[in-house]
Amino acid sequence: MRAARCEQYGGPENVVVRDIPSPGVTPGHVLVDVAAAAVNYPDLLLIANRYQVSAAPPFTPGSEFAGRVAAVGEGVTGLSPGDPVYGSVFTGAMAEQVLAPARAVAPVPPGLSLTEAAAFRVTYLTAYHALVTAGDLRPGQWVVVLGAAGGVGTATVDVAARLGARVIAAASSPERLKVCAALGAEAGIDYAREDLKQRIREIAGDGADLVVDPVGDRWAEPALRAIRWGGRFVSVGYAGGDIPRIPLNIVLLKNITVRGLELRTWTERLPQETARARQALTELVAGGMRPAVSEVHDLADVAAALRRVADRLPTGKVVIRVKP
């Protein structure tokens, strides 16, 4: 089968397409013919050996996929060959076939294409957990989304608006803020040119109830300082590059709750909460919600697709077309 391969650590240009053996199905697992795989920022960190957990080369990058079941292993119930499914793995999604634990695979929600489904699981589960499970969001509250035009950002804006929140999108250009406004953001902040803390306070008055931060870097602290007394801050990732150091005296003085969210461990350790999140997202899909897929690239162009995400050029999710 064809697969993207990271044969040595480095940048996106190090990823090549090779022919490798197909995986065999094993007990408790599902073998999937992959139609599409999404690009996520942690894929870039794994390729560069900068993620919290390493993957030893050679490996196939990609965590998020959608396709059809090719075979099911012993002990797997509820899935049959031919079923359209979506799921996530630590690595291995950017290949013509992927072997995944049965618990990591689910039927595609009605209404989603396989391309949309490939872009759905990681970002929308992350968004829902950040907003609801960790962030305790309530309708009418002000939520600030940093990196709001990226993959996790657009999903978070989308879900928050549909749950009745008042969304402030923070992104790096007016063009990217237009994408967020179309998803339901009530206000936008161009944090490349505007004072993030000041603008949040101008818009939200007493301050934000919740900040969801997939960016980190120099934007985390001013957003934290713009949270009202008793508000919440959820750290999702560090796409901006640097991991911020938060002054704990601000957390103390304003009684702020700070939570961290890493989806891989959350889905393993919080299965009931994750099941509720999936059900809630399925209901939102039935109501018309769709992931913002901005680019689709063929598997042969995987290095170029990864480079675009590394340079933070797309708005929304980038998807790799593996098999039409």
d(CA 53, CA 285): 32
Q: Three-state DSSP class for 97?
A: strand
- Same domain for 227 and 99, yes or no, is no
Residue 281 in any domain: the answer is no
Confidence of residue 53 (pLDDT cuts 50, 70, 90): confident
Residue 272 in any domain: the answer is no
pLDDT of residue 312: 83
CATH number (domain holding residue 166): 3.40.50.720
- Same domain for 143 and 107, yes or no, is no
- Same domain for 162 and 186, yes or no, is yes
Q: Which domain holds residue 259?
A: 123-264
Residue 58: cis peptide before it, omega within 30 degrees of 0: yes
CB contact at 8 A, 93 and 36: no
- Same domain for 135 and 239, yes or no, is yes
CB contact at 8 A, 52 and 29: no
pLDDT of residue 81: 97
Confidence of residue 143 (pLDDT cuts 50, 70, 90): very high
- Same domain for 199 and 81, yes or no, is no
Residue 60 in any domain: the answer is yes
Q: Whole-prediction pTM value?
A: 0.88
d(CA 88, CA 118): 9
- Same domain for 199 and 140, yes or no, is yes
Q: Note the pLDDT tens digit of each residue in 148-166.
A: 998 899 999 999 999 999 9
Q: How far apart are the first and last CA of the chain?
A: 15
| CB neighbourhood size of 49 (10 A) | 14
Q: Note the pLDDT tens digit of each residue in 170-227.
A: 999 999 999 999 999 999 999 989 999 999 999 999 999 999 999 999 999 999 999 9
pLDDT of residue 254: 96
Show the tokens assigned to 310. 């590394």
CATH number (domain holding residue 101): 3.90.180.10
